[in-house]
Amino acid sequence: MNSQVPVCLSEVADETAHWQNILLEQHAEGISLLTINRPKVLNALNADTLAELDQALDLVAKATDIRVLLITGAGEKAFVAGADIAHMRQLSALEGKYFAEQGMAVFRKLENLPVPVIALVNGYALGGGCELAMSCDFMLAAENARFGQPEVNLGVTPGFGGSQRLTRLVGRGMAMELLTTGRMMNAEEAQQRGLVNHVYPQAELLGEGMKLAEQIATKSRTAVQLTKQLVQRGQDLDLENACVMESDVFGLSFSTPDREEGMAAFLEGRKPVFS
């Protein structure tokens, strides 16, 4: 199928049927749920799982019926407990580098999706799992969630962006502590450190994630996507150039039908119906 042709997720069920390690389903109108589905190994990431995740993200990027993506892990113990150590133990130095590059590319693709992505962290998010969650736009966590980058315990460094994203999210000092000790943070501390937006009982996590996704899905698709681009592209610019970029995008948004509808609805005292 031509990767440039927009599709509806419901039209590509045959493309997802062969996946062994992940699930991608339309959970509600405009909202899709992607599940890392290897509960017997606590959803650990190996090369095959990353390859399937890469394919899924390509489908999400071109799906016209997805406005928000939720990501979680199968079972009640883990979001993703890390990269698959049994898989990594067999790798040579060069193969380890290729594995890291594969994970980096997939997580960067996730980060650059046009739609907002919310991680629903329902248990352990360690190593590659924490790196996966940090590549989402923000996180909601269950009370039993645990976060960490314990790679030093295995004699290696983070390989999927953990040393870089964690530093940007919690600050240099705390990141250094977590990266060099390998200790885990519980959900409460992760929220205090700014890693997690909200914490809920595990049984309520998906429902609360859906509520938040539904709020986003009712907004202007164009405005939401442009806003995500501003945040993603502006975070590494100096303030002056980032604000120039925002002014340009603000002006661009005035060319859209959603701007006409949104402002008309406000002045008429009704809810907007965005296209």
Question: Which tens digit of pLDDT belongs to each residue from 256-272?
Answer: 999 999 999 999 999 99
Q: What share of the chain has pLDDT > 70, as a percent?
A: 96
Question: Which tens digit of pLDDT belongs to each residue from 77-97?
Answer: 999 999 999 999 999 999 999
The chain-wide mean pLDDT, for the chain, equals: 94
Question: Which tens digit of pLDDT belongs to each residue from 118-134?
Answer: 999 999 999 999 999 99
Mean of the pLDDT values across residues 218-243? 96
Asked, for residue 1, whether it belongs to a domain, the answer is: no
User: What is the domain-level CATH number for residue 252?
Assistant: 1.10.12.10
Asked, for residue 252, whether it belongs to a domain, the answer is: yes
pTM, rounded to two decimals = 0.94
Q: How many domains are there within the chain?
A: 2
Asked, for residue 115, whether it belongs to a domain, the answer is: yes
Our CA angle for 168, 171, 175, nearest 5°, is: 95
Mean of the pLDDT values across residues 4-31? 82
Asked, for residue 65, whether it belongs to a domain, the answer is: yes
167 and 150 in one domain?
A: yes
Quick one: pLDDT band at residue 1, thresholds 50, 70, 90?
very low
Contact predicate 79/145, CB 8 Å? yes
Question: Which tens digit of pLDDT belongs to each residue from 164-216?
Answer: 999 999 999 999 999 999 999 999 999 999 999 999 999 999 999 999 999 99
Contact predicate 38/74, CB 8 Å? yes
What confidence score (pLDDT) does residue 13 get?
63
- Going by the DSSP 8-state scheme, the letter that residue 7 receives in this structure is B
For residue 227, the enclosing domain spans: 221-268
Give catalytic residue positions.
131, 151
Asked, for residue 111, whether it belongs to a domain, the answer is: yes
Q: Please give the Cα distance from 87 to 216 (Å, whole number).
A: 38
Asked, for residue 66, whether it belongs to a domain, the answer is: yes
Question: Which tens digit of pLDDT belongs to each residue from 91-122?
Answer: 999 999 999 999 999 999 999 999 999 999 99
172 and 203 in one domain?
A: yes
